[in-house]
């Protein structure tokens, strides 16, 4: 087992000016499960491939343990990679697929068989060892790809969106299997995904990337409760956080006729560059349905109700002047907010409900920099 360190690691693709990964500083502890997450094109797969040796490092360095592997060949880095596509040899049995890398390395047949059988037992593949990949389901094929990595007994596992090709139900099942397997084996793992639900449920820590830049590193709870900036706030969480720009006057944020009192610390943190505005974020579950006259009540006209059995989410349009409505948005679009409501008291379409942000559950960000300004 080993730690992994990105020390100002940068990758610039030929013919481009902006780095795909820009001065990445990240330390991953021995045995940790770290998830790299972000939208398409943010640099997460490039970061993983730099660690694997499949991409050049143009500046900085990468260490596995105390060993600088920046210029070491992939085969000599003692890592094992699981790809998005299973990349199995169709003419080989499951057992031969899992043991192929060991065979190439000259490992004795008895040792190969022992490791393959141990991995198959862990992954519930024992009864499939003599089958060909075409006789397996998608989830079983992905487990074979996992087994191929496990038998190598590497210092580091690298996983590049391994669940993307699975259907929704199987993805949830395999997600829990991978997370429990990693904890059982205790191997340092770097896992890449664009699915923030995977990141929140699987990782010991999450690293969020955007445009090649590291935005925040922390536990899933850190990311959810104290996002470092507006991007992380809007990216982490499902449904997405509601985020809006509010004008500040006399210590309150104004949205049309609605006045939302602000803490002194937030008002005091505003700078001239913010031009009298603050960006507030509030999650769907941080809104309470209140009476029309309640302090800070925001009118929302119901457009759609998503009923999920144990939960219900209202997708509604702000019932405020158009100029004010443009200042707020969510994962459902501009001028629209998402509210979690009691699934047994669901409002009707086109009905207007009034909601207020629960005390202590709003997130404040600088309107000019997007950085968090409340504790």
> 1 pLDDT exceeds 80?
no
Q: Are strands 33-37 and 205-210 parallel, antiparallel or unpaired?
A: parallel
pLDDT in tens, 182-205: 888 899 999 999 888 899 999 999
CA–CA gap between residue 316 and residue 303 (Å, rounded)? 5
CA–CA gap between residue 349 and residue 316 (Å, rounded)? 9
CA–CA gap between residue 47 and residue 294 (Å, rounded)? 49
| pLDDT, position 20 | 96
* Percentage of residues of the chain with pLDDT beyond 90: 58
- Going across the sheet that includes 298-307, the strands are 287-290, 352-357, 298-307, 312-318, 336-341
Per-residue pLDDT band for 326 (boundaries 50, 70, 90) equals low
| pLDDT, position 332 | 63
CA–CA gap between residue 170 and residue 172 (Å, rounded)? 5
Cα 104 to Cα 95, 130, 157: the distances in Å are 14, 20, 19
Per-residue pLDDT band for 168 (boundaries 50, 70, 90) equals confident
Per-residue pLDDT band for 14 (boundaries 50, 70, 90) equals very high
The pLDDT of 346-359, averaged and rounded, is 91
Of 200, 226, 298, the C-alpha closest to 255 is 298
The pLDDT of 14-20, averaged and rounded, is 93
pLDDT in tens, 131-166: 999 999 888 888 898 899 889 889 999 999 888 877
CA–CA gap between residue 22 and residue 170 (Å, rounded)? 35
| pLDDT, position 335 | 72
- Please enumerate in sequence order all residues whose Cβ is within 8 A of that of 75, keeping only pairs 6 or more positions apart, or say none: none
The full 3-state SS of 199-266, as one line of letters, equals HHHHCCEEEEEECCEEEEEECHHHHHHCCCEHHHHHHCCCCCCEEEEEEEECCEEEECCEEEECCHHH
CA–CA gap between residue 122 and residue 185 (Å, rounded)? 10
Give the least confident one: 24-33, 162-171, 337-346: 162-171
Tell me the two tokens of residue 126.
């024992």
pLDDT in tens, 19-66: 999 999 999 999 999 999 999 999 999 999 999 999 999 999 999 999
Instruction: Tell which phi-psi region holds residue 373, choosing left (phi > 0), alpha (psi between -120 and 50) or beta.
Output: alpha
pLDDT in tens, 197-233: 899 999 999 999 999 999 999 999 999 999 999 999 9
Q: Output the pTM of the full model.
A: 0.89
| pLDDT, position 26 | 96
> 256 pLDDT exceeds 80?
no
| pLDDT, position 162 | 86
What is the residue-averaged pLDDT of the chain? 90
| pLDDT, position 164 | 82
The pLDDT of 270-280, averaged and rounded, is 91
The pLDDT of 3-22, averaged and rounded, is 95
**Max avg pLDDT among 5-9, 76-80, 251-255:** 5-9
Domains of the chain: 4-233 (3.40.50.300), 239-366 (2.40.50.140)
Residue 236 contacts residue 200 (beta carbons within 8 Å): yes
| pLDDT, position 323 | 60
Instruction: Tell which phi-psi region holds residue 131, choosing left (phi > 0), alpha (psi between -120 and 50) or beta.
Output: beta
Residue whose pair of structure tokens reads 């990349």 in the numeric block? 87
Exposed / middle / buried, residue 343 (Cβ in 10 Å: 0-12, 13-18, 19+): middle
| pLDDT, position 87 | 84
**Max avg pLDDT among 238-242, 250-254, 258-262, 283-287:** 283-287
Torsion 184-190-191-194 (CA) sign:
positive
> 248 pLDDT exceeds 80?
yes
CA–CA gap between residue 277 and residue 160 (Å, rounded)? 40
């Amino acid at each position: 087992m080993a730690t992994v360190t990105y020390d100002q690691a940068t990758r610039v693709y030929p013919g481009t000016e902006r780095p795909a990964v820009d001065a990445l500083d990240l330390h991953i502890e021995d045995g940790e499960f770290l998830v790299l997450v972000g939208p398409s094109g943010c640099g997460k797969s490039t970061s993983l491939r730099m660690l694997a040796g499949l991409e050049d490092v143009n500046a900085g360095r990468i260490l596995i343990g105390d060993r600088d592997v920046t210029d070491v060949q992939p085969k000599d880095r003692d890592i094992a990679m699981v790809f998005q596509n299973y990349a199995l040899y169709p003419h080989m049995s499951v057992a031969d697929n899992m043991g192929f890398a060991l065979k190439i390395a000259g490992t004795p047949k008895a040792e190969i068989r022992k490791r393959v059988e141990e991995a198959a037992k862990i992954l519930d593949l024992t009864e499939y060892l003599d089958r060909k990949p075409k006789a397996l389901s998608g989830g079983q094929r992905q487990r074979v790809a996992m087994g191929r990595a496990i038998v190598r007994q590497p210092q580091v596992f690298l996983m590049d969106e391994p669940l993307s090709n699975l259907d929704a139900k199987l993805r949830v099942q395999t997600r829990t299997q991978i997370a429990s397997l990693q904890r059982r084996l205790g191997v340092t793992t770097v896992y890449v995904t664009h699915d923030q639900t995977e990141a929140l449920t699987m990782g010991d820590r999450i690293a969020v990337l955007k445009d090649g830049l590291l935005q925040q590193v922390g536990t899933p709870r850190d990311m959810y409760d104290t996002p470092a900036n507006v991007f992380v706030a809007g990216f982490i969480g499902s449904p997405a956080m509601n985020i809006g720009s509010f004008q500040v006057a006399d210590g309150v944020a104004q949205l049309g006729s609605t006045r939302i009192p602000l803490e002194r610390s937030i008002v005091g943190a505003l700078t001239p560059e913010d031009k009298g505005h603050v960006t507030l974020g509030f999650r769907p579950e941080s809104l309470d349905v209140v009476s029309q006259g309640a302090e800070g009540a925001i009118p929302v006209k119901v457009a759609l109700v998503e009923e999920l059995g144990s939960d219900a989410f209202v997708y509604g349009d702000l019932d405020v002047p158009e100029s004010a409505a443009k200042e707020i948005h969510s994962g459902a679009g501009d001028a629209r907010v998402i509210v979690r409501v009691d699934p047994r008291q669901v409002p009707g379409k086109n009905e207007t409900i009034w909601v207020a942000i629960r005390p202590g559950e709003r997130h404040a960000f600088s309107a000019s920099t997007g950085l968090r300004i409340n504790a």
